[in-house]
Amino acid sequence: MSSTNIFNNMFLNNVIEFGVMPFNSFSLNFSLFKNTLKNHH
């Protein structure tokens, strides 16, 4: 594996993580919000 491949893989992994992390946190917050609504009613 060349250094450019390693760099490209690291870059792609970072982009994928940053692209998915906000969506994961949003869905997590949404599920928590739904659970609190269910508990209150």
Residues 24-41 have pLDDT tens digits of: 778 888 888 888 888 866
Instruction: Please give the full DSSP string across 10-41, using - where no structure is assigned.
Output: HHHHHHHHHHHHHHHHHHHHHHHHHHHHHHH-
pTM: 0.38
Q: Please report how many Cα atoms fall inside a 13 Å half-sphere around the Cα of residue 16, on the Cβ side.
A: 6
pLDDT score of 28: 82
Containing structural domain, residue 8: 1-41
How many separate domains does the chain show? 1
Across the chain, mean pLDDT equals 81
- For 4-39, b/e burial (b = at least 16 CB within 10 A) is eeeeeeeeeeeeeeeeeeeeeeeeeeeeeeeeeeee
Average pLDDT over residues 2-26: 81
Q: At 1, is the pLDDT very low, low, confident or very high (cuts 50, 70, 90)? A: low
